[in-house]
Amino acid sequence: MRKLLPALAIAALLGTAQATSAQVPVGVRIGAPPPPRAYKVPARPGPNYEWVEGYWAPQGSHYRWHNGRWAHPPRAGAYWQEPYYANGRYYRGSWEGGEQRRAEHGRRDQSTGTTGHERR
């Protein structure tokens, strides 16, 4: 019993130290990106292409420019939400909206009320 109590006390202290250290955020702040570059948008290569505007993205301790491009949206009605910087944080660009082909990972599709796994 005498050996068990010190071992439990040490385990409790180590568990508390690990939980405390897990709450410390780590990140690198590099400030706002430079202004967008000016460039000529090439002609649309065909129907069903959407323009993805060029943007600066963080890469390590600096920003790297990504040229604009024509892209096929991943689903009908989707649009490109440009990346942006606000309140000291950078938010990546992504395709938003559009029709859902099927519910993802068993989540209920809000438009149909189904999970995509029901029999037809």
Taking only the tens place, the pLDDT of each residue in 39-83 is 899 999 999 899 999 999 999 889 999 999 999 999 999 999 999
114 is a domain residue: yes
7 is a domain residue: no
Q: How many distinct structural domains can be found in the chain? A: 1
The label of the residue with tokens 């709450």 reads 23
64 is a domain residue: yes
6 is a domain residue: no
pLDDT at 42: 94
Contact indicator for 63, 33 with CB cutoff of 8 Å: yes
Residue 83 and residue 87: Cα distance in Å, rounded? Answer: 14
Type of residue at 25: P
Retrieve residue 51's tokens: 């323009």
Retrieve residue 33's tokens: 């990106």
Q: What is the DSSP letter of 16?
A: H
Retrieve residue 63's tokens: 């920003």
118 pLDDT tier (thresholds 50, 70, 90)? very low
